[in-house]
Amino acid sequence: MKHWKLKLGLLSGLGMTVLVGLLIQPRWLLNLIGRVGPGATYYIDTDAQAVALTIDDAPSEATDEILDVLDRYDAKATFFIISRRVPGREQNLTRMVAAGHELGNHLTEDEASILLSATDFEAAVLEADRVLADYGPVRWLRPGMGWYSPGMVATVSRQRRQLVLGSVFPYDTHIASPQFASQFILSSVRPGDIIVLHDGPGRGDRTAKTLKQILPALQAQGYDVVTLSTLAEQQSAKD
């Protein structure tokens, strides 16, 4: 009986360790995932006191408020655009680019990219690229819902894009609390991290509130909040 209790205790402890690891997204875990499924960028290895801010699912009715907050703190972001949300909100993308933000490909719909056939996935990549081409070059692609396969990586690479996920995701798609998101980010962030937040219906206004809390706090700690490409350039400078 004691033997089984010990086993159960060890298994319980291991399960809790894995659960906590998943919640806080430590780099050892991201490195392990990257070795199992290569081809995605999770963070940038740099000594610069900088982080990349990324915002998924734009544009929406909250995008202007998000941009206002970014302007207030002179912070830059990479906005991952869902292309079929662009009609009627073209001015949001124009404003992003004019303000020095960066556009990324987030395909055409808010859906799990990994569930698409190879043909449909490539078609969605190309359709989104065509929309974004009117606003400037696109370097990065983030798959919907964050899951990817080797075939998706190959497709993205053929289009000369880099598949990117992130290293600080405060579960803002599931926990509707700017306070939780802010505390999660500020307690987890390290130089080179890629922060993931969300625009879109019901989420963009929360992101604006989160940014009002984290941006002055990050800057007080000496962080520059930059686009993905700017952070990647700092990796090159380090190398």
Domain containing residue 128: CATH number: 3.20.20.370
User: Do residues 164 and 54 share a domain?
Assistant: yes
User: Do residues 169 and 192 share a domain?
Assistant: yes
User: Do residues 47 and 139 share a domain?
Assistant: yes
71 alpha-carbon distance from chain centroid: 20
Structure tokens at 125: 């990549």
Residue 129, class by beta-carbon neighbours within 10 Å (0-12 exposed, 13-18 middle, 19+ buried)? middle
Give catalytic residues, as residue numbers: 56, 198
Closest CA to 225 of 212, 236, 209: 212
User: Do residues 199 and 89 share a domain?
Assistant: yes
CA 37 – CA 54 distance, rounded (Å): 22
User: Do residues 27 and 121 share a domain?
Assistant: no
Give the length of the chain: 239
User: Do residues 26 and 103 share a domain?
Assistant: no
DSSP 56: E
CA 187 – CA 20 distance, rounded (Å): 14
The pLDDT assigned to 194 comes to 98
Give the residue numbers spanning the domain of 2. 1-36
Phi, psi of 103 (to 5 degrees): -100, 140
User: Do residues 2 and 92 share a domain?
Assistant: no
Q: What does pTM read for this prediction? A: 0.89
Least confident among 33-42, 177-186, 213-222: 33-42
The pLDDT assigned to 237 comes to 57
For the chain, how many structural domains are there in total? 2
5 or 173, which is more confident? 173
For residue 146, is it left (φ>0), alpha (ψ between -120 and 50) or beta?
left
User: Do residues 29 and 110 share a domain?
Assistant: no
Query: Tens digit of pLDDT for each residue in 33-53?
Result: 889 899 999 999 998 999 999
Closest CA to 210 of 189, 231, 227: 189
The pLDDT assigned to 239 comes to 54
User: Do residues 22 and 66 share a domain?
Assistant: no
